[in-house]
A and B are shown apart, each in its own frame.
Chain A
Amino acid sequence: MKLKSFPGGLHPPDNKAWSAHKPIETCALPGELVIPLAQHIGAPAEPCVAKGDQVRKGQVIGQAKGFVSVPVHASTSGEVIAVEPRPHPYGRDLPAVVIRPDGQDAWVEGLEEADPEALTADEIRDRIRAAGIVGMGGATFPTHVKLSPPAEKPIDTVIVNGVECEPYLTADHRLMLEQTQKVLDGVAILKKVLGVQKALVGIEANKPDAIAAMQKACAGRGIEVVPLEVKYPQGAEKQLILAAVGREVPSGGLPMDVGVVVQNVGTAAAIDDAVRLGRPLIERIATVTGPCVNEPKNLRVRIGTALAHLVEACGGLKSDPAKIIMGGPMMGAAQLSLAVPATRGTSGLLLLGEQDVSLETEGPCIRCGRCVQVCPARILPTTIAAYARLDLFDEAEQFCALDCIECGCCTYICPSALALVQAIRYAKGAIMARKRKI
């Protein structure tokens, strides 16, 4: 049978074998947790604790500010030793609450268990928001906002994203294998809160064990597993929707415009914890991998744990990394140091050596058209990039620069080593800045 897919895309060497067979291990508590107040798209949380305060695991330490924002919680019990700017994965110092664990790991009181069946949709949304749940595939968009579509946008399908198309990453794979029920319980809650009958779980066909486990557990629950072609970026939201249900989100639109809400499998599991157990999002699963790591692993990580601590949990460095990447190699963000903390969006830590980092100098475009063939947004990367280099932003916009999903396929495939997506990103930034001014 031909697997469902989308036009465009490519398949880089996936390098998942290093960690795909490793069961999730819990990373030990570090000596210090640096919990950033900005871990989501939207307004950063406002700190509500001060230096010297004792906090407990799950306690709110930063309040949500506005609707598109979520609270931030303590990942363990201990003493607040600072509320100050600290190195952040975004590349600069940003406000964070620093906690010295007391080793008790004691839960805060007042976290109430609940039966999702007995809750109303609004109550479920409130619990999701209070738990600080954001999109855990890496986008970190507040989940309660996605689950609050306006009345004029009826939703009929929820798609759960277990694609994990980024090379190297295996965190979602392990989650689906080891916590199948929790993920599906989360999907059931999503169905209820959105009032939909149809729920699909999209999984790339390179994870047959996860597909089998999920299919078996789905029986009789009204959830369907959809195996998808092994191709990057199969897990990009709009590409996933097209592949799974054949609907194309209109340019500039959102999934709800075609009646769909997409949530990551990690988010589904976190939703189950939040709604059923009342537990906030204080830990996640991350793949620590790459040629510079002694023993690649999938770790259960407390939010705020320094990346250096994760590397230690994996047997330390095998060799000096030339690039520290938070997330996968196609869309992850390069980091300044291992001192930055893991956040709610940290799906992986990838350490690449000198020989793995591409350092070719840019050549001329030979018009081979490969970028056009692989572009899942079906735009002309090399043309937009050429305009971007000349600061011709009107032309870049006419050629649909804003439709770029920044998946990086064009840069990956370019034989002349042109930094295409980087140039398009630059143009997008300039176009958006100009729009804000008008």
Chain B
Amino acid sequence: MEQLYLSSSPHIRSEQTTDKVMRAVIYALLPACAVSVYLFGLPALSILVLCAAGCVATEAVCRKLMGRPLSLTDGSAALTGILLALNLPPSVPWWLALLGAAVAIAVGKQVYGGLGYNPFNPALVARVVLLISFPVQMTSWSAPAPLGSGLDAVTSATPLGEMKTAVMLTGKLPEAMQQGIGSYFVGHMAGSLGEVSALALLVGAAYLFWKRILTWHTPLSYLGTVVVVSGVFWLIDPARYPSPLFHLVTGGLILGAFFMATDMVTSPVTGKGMVIFGVGCGLLTVLIRLFGGYPEGVSFAILLMNATTPLIDRYTKPKKFGFVAPQG
């Protein structure tokens, strides 16, 4: 016998590893990436590549500066880059994409110690930093101009932006808005790279459910809350508040509910905690969309709920086996 290993039990492990989880999430985002390139052309591709490469490079530099082992193989930096890209408008300049990548990894992740220690979703931290610092570039949207359609990119408002403007000016929803839901669903609306096709995102999410990487808790409670809360407002005044279906397919809700709020590092660990987290995200999203200063509230909602994760974890600790209530 050449070499014997001695260690305490268990002696076998499951096949699932962090690297595989990260890679699977990247695969799950590929349909949405492909649709964004189809709809917005080469600028979308370059944003995706710049963000992913920028994140990986920033991660390498940070680890080097901190004197920690490199951690590129875990795929988490590339994943953050892709998620960031999917959260950017297709017309952002190249330097903004790179700046976002650097902020995501350096400020959003590595200052806390790297993977597993960041309290906030790094991609969303970067998006919000860019949104606040560069409001013009971050809110210049354009309508999709599918490859081969011969169309040029035309500046256009997002459905949520249109809604907000109309409601603020007239107190009423724009006339044509409610008819577009079907085409929004497949991506015919202005928006960030990853927002535009709910369908492509759902295909990826289905893959993650099948791989048992996603559980229903966060996405379902998030979307369910959005439907219920926005439905209440819609029933009160359908002329002023859009329908729940409109909320579901526009903006970054699907991307947020399946791929951002479910980030393991920044969300609670128990099923009960995830449901509370999802309900909070849903409530905040609708409130910001309907009453906040910004047309879209998904990023802010998730980041605010990230901050409550330690608290949620504390109060949703499972009751241990054989728990006996203290006497007296």
- A interface residue numbers (CB < 8 A to B): 10, 12, 167, 238, 242, 248-253, 320-325, 327, 329-334, 336-337, 350, 352, 354, 356-360, 363-369, 372-373, 375-380, 382, 400, 403, 406, 408, 411-417, 421-422, 425
A250–B5 Cα distance when bound, in Å, is: 37
Q: Mark B296-328, 1 if CB is under 8 A from A, else 0.
A: 000000000000000000000111111110000
Q: Mark B265-290, 1 if CB is under 8 A from A, else 0.
A: 11111110000000000000000000
> Shortest beta-carbon distance, A429 to chain B, in Å?
11
Q: Which residues of B contact A12 (CB under 8 A)?
A: 12, 14
Q: Which residues of A contact B74 (CB under 8 A)?
A: 363
Flag if B318 contacts A379 (CB, 8 Å). yes
A415–B8 Cα distance when bound, in Å, is: 18
Q: Which residues of B contact A406 (CB under 8 A)?
A: 9
Q: Which of B267, B317, B322 contacts A251 (CB 8 A)?
A: B322
Q: Which residues of A contact B2 (CB under 8 A)?
A: 320
Give 9 pairs: A residue, B residue, CB < 8 Å, sorted on A. A320-B1, A323-B6, A354-B3, A363-B116, A364-B117, A367-B266, A379-B318, A415-B14, A421-B8
Q: Which residues of B contact A248 (CB under 8 A)?
A: 321-322
Flag if B6 contacts A325 (CB, 8 Å). no
A9–B318 Cα distance when bound, in Å, is: 15
Flag if A415 contacts B4 (CB, 8 Å). no
A330–B10 Cα distance when bound, in Å, is: 4
B20 at the interface (CB under 8 A from A): yes
Query: Does more than half of chain A's interface fall in helix, strand or loop, or is it mixed?
Result: loop
B31 at the interface (CB under 8 A from A): no
Q: Which residues of B contact A373 (CB under 8 A)?
A: 270-271
Flag if B12 contacts A167 (CB, 8 Å). yes
Q: Which residues of A contact B183 (CB under 8 A)?
A: none
A325–B269 Cα distance when bound, in Å, is: 33
B178 at the interface (CB under 8 A from A): no
Flag if B21 contacts A368 (CB, 8 Å). yes
Flag if A378 contacts B10 (CB, 8 Å). no
Q: A321-B1, A367-B269 are in contact. Are A249 and B115 (CB under 8 A)?
A: no
B16 at the interface (CB under 8 A from A): yes
Flag if A329 contacts B18 (CB, 8 Å). no
> Shortest beta-carbon distance, A326 to chain B, in Å?
10
A167–B1 Cα distance when bound, in Å, is: 24
Flag if A251 contacts B324 (CB, 8 Å). yes
Flag if A412 contacts B13 (CB, 8 Å). yes
Q: A323-B5, A334-B11, A411-B13 are in contact. Are A380 and B317 (CB under 8 A)?
A: yes
Q: Considering the complex, give the chain A residue whose CB is closest to the CB of B318.
A: A378
A367–B266 Cα distance when bound, in Å, is: 8
> Shortest beta-carbon distance, A317 to chain B, in Å?
9
> Shortest beta-carbon distance, B245 to chain A, in Å?
32
Q: Which of A322, A327, A359, A408 contacts B4 (CB 8 A)?
A: A322
A414–B8 Cα distance when bound, in Å, is: 16
- Number of cross-chain contacts by CB at 8 Å: 152
Q: Considering the complex, give the chain B residue whose CB is closest to the CB of A357.
A: B5
A368–B214 Cα distance when bound, in Å, is: 10
Q: Which residues of A contact B17 (CB under 8 A)?
A: 360, 415-417
A350–B5 Cα distance when bound, in Å, is: 13
Q: Which residues of B contact A422 (CB under 8 A)?
A: 7-8
Flag if B5 contacts A364 (CB, 8 Å). no
> How many B residues are at the interface, by size bracket?
35 or more
A320–B324 Cα distance when bound, in Å, is: 49
> 7 tightest A-B contacts by CB?
A408-B10, A369-B269, A364-B116, A251-B322, A358-B13, A368-B264, A378-B318
Q: Which of B12, B266, B322 contacts A358 (CB 8 A)?
A: B12
Flag if A365 contacts B116 (CB, 8 Å). yes
Flag if A412 contacts B12 (CB, 8 Å). yes
Q: Considering the complex, give the chain A residue whose CB is closest to the CB of B266.
A: A367
Q: Considering the complex, give the chain B residue whose CB is closest to the CB of A251.
A: B322
A330–B14 Cα distance when bound, in Å, is: 12
Q: Considering the complex, give the chain B residue whose CB is closest to the CB of A380.
A: B317
Flag if B320 contacts A415 (CB, 8 Å). no
B114 at the interface (CB under 8 A from A): yes
Q: Which residues of B contact A412 (CB under 8 A)?
A: 10, 12-14
Contacting A at CB under 8 A, from B250-274, are 264-271
A120–B7 Cα distance when bound, in Å, is: 46
Q: Which of B9, B20, B264, B267 contacts A408 (CB 8 A)?
A: B9
A109–B266 Cα distance when bound, in Å, is: 71
> Shortest beta-carbon distance, A391 to chain B, in Å?
18
Flag if B269 contacts A380 (CB, 8 Å). yes
A382–B14 Cα distance when bound, in Å, is: 17
> Shortest beta-carbon distance, B18 to chain A, in Å?
5
Add 8 more A-B contacts to A323-B5, A369-B268 (CB < 8 A). Answer: A249-B322, A332-B9, A332-B11, A364-B116, A372-B269, A377-B321, A382-B269, A414-B13
A425–B21 Cα distance when bound, in Å, is: 28
Q: Which residues of A contact B319 (CB under 8 A)?
A: 378
Q: Considering the complex, give the chain B residue whose CB is closest to the CB of A361.
A: B69
Q: Which residues of A contact B318 (CB under 8 A)?
A: 372, 375, 378-380
A421–B13 Cα distance when bound, in Å, is: 12
Q: Which residues of B contact A327 (CB under 8 A)?
A: 9
A406–B8 Cα distance when bound, in Å, is: 10
Q: Considering the complex, give the chain B residue whose CB is closest to the CB of A253.
A: B322
Q: A323-B11, A331-B9, A413-B16 are in contact. Are A369 and B4 (CB under 8 A)?
A: no
Q: Which residues of B contact A366 (CB under 8 A)?
A: 18, 21, 115-116, 264-265
> Shortest beta-carbon distance, B23 to chain A, in Å?
12
Q: A334-B6, A365-B116 are in contact. Are A415 and B20 (CB under 8 A)?
A: yes
Q: A320-B2, A367-B269, A368-B264 are in contact. Are A331 and B10 (CB under 8 A)?
A: yes
A244–B119 Cα distance when bound, in Å, is: 42
A237–B219 Cα distance when bound, in Å, is: 37
A244–B318 Cα distance when bound, in Å, is: 22
Q: Which residues of A contact B117 (CB under 8 A)?
A: 364
Q: Which residues of B contact A250 (CB under 8 A)?
A: 322, 324
A408–B9 Cα distance when bound, in Å, is: 7
A411–B324 Cα distance when bound, in Å, is: 27
Q: Which residues of B contact A411 (CB under 8 A)?
A: 10, 13
Flag if B5 contacts A329 (CB, 8 Å). no
> Shortest beta-carbon distance, B262 to chain A, in Å?
10
A320–B2 Cα distance when bound, in Å, is: 7
Flag if A415 contacts B12 (CB, 8 Å). no
A359–B13 Cα distance when bound, in Å, is: 10
Contacting A at CB under 8 A, from B1-43, are 1-14, 16-18, 20-21
Q: Which of B9, B114, B320 lies at the interface centre, i.e. has the most chain A CB atoms within 10 A of its CB?
A: B9
Q: Which residues of B contact A415 (CB under 8 A)?
A: 14, 16-18, 20-21
Q: Considering the complex, give the chain A residue whose CB is closest to the CB of B324.
A: A250
Q: Which residues of A contact B265 (CB under 8 A)?
A: 366-367
> Shortest beta-carbon distance, A173 to chain B, in Å?
19
A425–B321 Cα distance when bound, in Å, is: 18
> Shortest beta-carbon distance, A335 to chain B, in Å?
8
Flag if A329 contacts B321 (CB, 8 Å). no
